[in-house]
Amino acid sequence: MERIVLPEIPNLNQIDVYLKNGGFEAAKKAFSQTPDDIIEQVKKSGLRGRGGAAFLTGLKWSFMPKTTDMPKYLCINGDESEPGSFKDRQIFEYNPFQLIEGAIITCYAIGAKIAYLYIRGEYHKWIKLMQQAIDTAYEKGFLGEKMKSTFGVDFYCDLYIHKGAGAYICGEESSLMNSIEGKRGYPRVKPPFPAQKGLWGCPTTINNVETITNVPPIILKGWEWFSKIGAPKHPGTLLFGISGHVNKPGVYELPTGILLTELIYDVAGGVPGNKKIKCVIPGGSSMPPLRGDQLEGVRMDAESLRAAGSAIGTGGVIVMDEDTNLLKVLLRITHFYHHESCGQCTPCREGTGWMEKILKRIEQGNGTSKDLDLLVSVAQNIEGNTICALGDAAAWPVKFMIQRFRDEFEKYVKPQVVLPVPNKVHSMRFTKISLDNIVLKS
């Protein structure tokens, strides 16, 4: 299988090696066409966003206004804070020039002069590597004003790294923009969408690092080639990050539509000690978890996973074996969302805290069966009632974990009290009295 994003070429992070292997040929080809042609090709290729929502990339680009006197911007999302997701760092480390080339082509297609690459602050090492690559690209004339003479075209763009500072929420596109603007990472109300009002109120497109890195091969080899790889409705390859209870955790680039079981057993070497799988989160911690007996036949693409009751997310697969305490897992996940909630919307700010408190109570052995229903109820009241998707991300694990693993959670809560002798006083309360039998004295 051919790899698109992380080809098996040693030292591809050196510009000479990258150039020898067809580097910046896609950019040259792109500059011989009109921006609309590029957008059309990306649309036809069926490339979908790799950041979680799996939105059609070409369609997103086409939302950018064609005629505007405002500057346009491209943001490349490398915040990568979703627990279970660790794919973008591989691109920064092993294939930075393809990302740069993708950024150039995207800027040309949408008419942006400046691209900001947002990388999470903890990635010091990868920020340095990426900065080196960008500096090299500037030196060699692949970025900045020198591009005009390098490519012989009346277009140039700049690429800057913006370093995050440890906030999960900044992976959300509108709070990422606020963060670049130097504000707190609060998500914005949509509409207006970024293509209408983005960075500093100007038209902006935001794409994931992996999405952008997919662009050069599509332009170079054609959209037909790309659209035939993997699942037809979600073509291409994905960087699957497998972690948790597997023998060979890591990042693997594979075509979409691969069987989840194949990914776990053949690619990642199965579960240590040949244990059974209790639970798998297929797309990063905010996606609904699947039970071990639900995995058979599930394919790793947006459509199949939706049909299976989960979502592809960022392709971060977390595997848990039969001995895992799911209560502790859920408590840890909920603690994460409580910590990372930005605090703008009440349902999320308060709800995530409540869910954590209830789960803690259950963990301490003071929970009752009613608490499980309460958790689901709180989760349902967060879901869909917040500005951004963090609310849903916090609610889904709780809601689906309890629904799908109810028997296990029942074990952690106190059994319902059954009185040995029927309590007459209490049972009176539940005696049904028809209103018709009550005669009001006049």
Partner 1 sequence: MSFKFTEENLKRLENERKKYPESLAAVMPAIYIAQEQNGYITNEVMTEIADVLGIDKVDVLGVVTFYTMFHTKPVGKYHIQVCTNVSCMLRGGYEIWEYIKSKLGIDNMEVTPDGKFSIEEVECMGACGYAPMIAINEDYYENLTKEKVEEILNSLK
* Residue ranges binding partner 1 (CB under 8 A): 71, 80-86, 88-89, 120-125, 158, 160, 162-168, 179-185, 200, 241-245, 249-251, 281, 285, 316, 318, 320, 324, 328-329, 332-333, 336, 339-340, 342
Q: How far is the CB of 332 from partner 1 (least distance, A)?
A: 6
Kindly state the smallest distance separating residue 110's Cβ from partner 1, in Å.
18
Phi, psi of 259 (to 5 degrees): -65, 140
**CB crowding 361-380: b at 16 or more within 10 Å, else e:** ebeeeebeeebbeebbebbe
Q: Which is nearer to partner 1, 68 or 423 (CB)?
A: 68
Minimum distance of partner 1 from residue 399's CB (angstroms): 17
Closest distance to partner 1 from the beta carbon of 113 (Å) = 11
CB of residue 356 to partner 1, shortest distance in Å: 14
Q: From the CB of 228, what's the least distance to partner 1, in Å?
A: 29
> Can you name the residues that pair with 119 across neighbouring β-strands?
78, 163
Which amino acid is located at 130 in the chain? M
Q: How far is the CB of 89 from partner 1 (least distance, A)?
A: 6
What span, in angstroms and rounded, lies between the C-alpha atoms of 264 and 267?
6
* Least spacing, CB of residue 418 vs partner 1, in Å: 36
State the Rg of the chain over Cα: 25
Q: Which is nearer to partner 1, 80 or 173 (CB)?
A: 80
Q: How far is the CB of 116 from partner 1 (least distance, A)?
A: 8
Looking at the Cβ atoms of 80 and 301, the one nearer to partner 1 is: 80
Give CA–CA dist 320/314, Å, rounded: 18
Closer to partner 1 by CB, 219 or 246: give it.
246
Judged by CB, which is closer to partner 1: 198, or 235? 198
Q: How far apart, in Å, are the Cα atoms of 153 and each of 99, 148, 335?
A: 20, 5, 52
Of residues 47 and 159, the one with the C-beta less far from partner 1: 159
Distance CA 236, CA 257 (A): 9
Strands 290-291 and 277-281: antiparallel
CA 361 – CA 364 distance, rounded (Å) = 5
Find tokens 């999405």 and name the residue: 211
Tell me whether residue 39 or residue 268 sits nearer to partner 1 (CB atom): 268
Please say whether the beta carbons of 39 and 64 come within 8 A. Answer: no
Q: Is 173 exposed, middle or buried (0-12, 13-18, 19+ CB in 10 A)?
A: buried
CB nearer to partner 1: pick between 179 and 237: 179
Select 179 or 213, whichever has its Cβ closest to partner 1. 179
- Considering beta carbons, is residue 219 or 281 the nearer one to partner 1? 281
In terms of CB distance, is 251 or 358 closer to partner 1? 251
Distance separating alpha carbons of residues 375 and 353, to the nearest angstrom: 11
